[in-house]
Copies of this chain bind each other. A is one copy, B any other.
Amino acid sequence: MADTFTGLKEQIVESPTDKVISKVKELINSGVLKPGDKLPAERKLALEFGFGRTQVREALHKLEFYGIIKTLPQSGSVVNGLDINTLDGLISDVLNLQSYDFFSLVETRVLLETNAIRLCAERWTDRDMRSLEKAHANYLRDFDTSNRIGSDFAFHRTIAESSHNPVFKAMLMIVIPDIMTIYQRDRICAPNPDVMNEHQMMMDAIKNRDGEGAARIMAQHLQGVLDFAKSKLEENNN
């Protein structure tokens, strides 16, 4: 009950930084700021918006991080040369930045991992294979210890690394921790011997350069998590 209230509160409260971002968004949508324009100085924005410069700076940092503006030291900040619709969508996303629902996270993970392992099977180098075998051995070693989950994750991370697509890897690194947090909170996953076998089958498929086969095993491997997420989804919408 208390959780419900605090949860609602968190959604309602809008941090000063986000308010500043909203103001910038208005500036862009109203046409005052066009892509490519140099936006006013921090002090000016702070005065105009009625916030402190600290809040404005933090907002600009966030906007720069998302590639919406580019800020040059001792010179000023510039709105990136994207079109207005794109900017509007991007800023909206920065603001929403909600915690995603579990099912969508898992769905994304499955997509990324099945394709990461496919590319891994096609592209691995000798160096990759050494890392993969080491990660696999570590998992077997830690299977009966408290490190099992960590080594499991490390194995998957190594696969993503060996896909030679850093974007895949980066996105997996965003998604998986969220999943693990929820997973650990709601259900302790008992040591499952099937997982060990599936890891072994993945290794074999990768070694044989069998991308499709590896992807199939990975999909099966993650089916359990997907089912769990789906049941959660049907159970209640949280």
The interface residues of chain A, by DSSP majority, are classed as helix
Given A83-B150, A85-B151, A153-B83, A90-B167 contact (CB < 8 Å):
no
**C-alpha spacing A195/B101, complex, angstroms:** 34
Residue in B85, B168, B169, B181 whose CB lies within 8 Å of A154: B85
**C-alpha spacing A163/B49, complex, angstroms:** 36
Interface residue A184 (Cβ < 8 Å from any Cβ of B): yes
Given A104-B165, A184-B81, A86-B150 contact (CB < 8 Å):
yes
Tell me the chain A residues, 102-154 only, with Cβ under 8 Å from chain B: 104-105, 107-108, 111-112, 115, 147, 149-151, 153-154
Chain B's closest residue to A105 (CB) is B167
* Interface contact A167-B100, CB-CB below 8 Å: yes
Interface residue A219 (Cβ < 8 Å from any Cβ of B): no
Write out the residue numbers on chain B whose beta carbons fall within 8 Å of the beta carbon of A177.
67-68, 80, 82, 86, 90
| Interface residue tally on A, bucketed by range | 35 or more
Tell me the chain A residues, 62-94 only, with Cβ under 8 Å from chain B: 65-68, 80-86, 89-90, 93
In the assembled complex, the CB of A49 is this many whole angstroms from the nearest CB of chain B, namely 20
Interface residue A47 (Cβ < 8 Å from any Cβ of B): no
* Interface contact B100-A166, CB-CB below 8 Å: yes
Interface residue A207 (Cβ < 8 Å from any Cβ of B): no
In the assembled complex, the CB of A58 is this many whole angstroms from the nearest CB of chain B, namely 7
Interface residue A178 (Cβ < 8 Å from any Cβ of B): yes
Interface residue A221 (Cβ < 8 Å from any Cβ of B): no
Interface residue A98 (Cβ < 8 Å from any Cβ of B): yes
* Interface contact A166-B86, CB-CB below 8 Å: no
In the assembled complex, the CB of A231 is this many whole angstroms from the nearest CB of chain B, namely 18
- What are 29 sample pairs from A and B whose C-beta atoms fall under 8 A apart? A66-B174, A67-B177, A67-B181, A68-B177, A80-B177, A80-B181, A81-B181, A81-B184, A82-B177, A83-B147, A83-B153, A84-B150, A85-B150, A85-B153, A86-B150, A86-B177, A89-B157, A90-B177, A93-B173, A100-B166, A101-B166, A104-B166, A105-B167, A107-B167, A107-B168, A108-B168, A111-B112, A111-B115, A171-B171
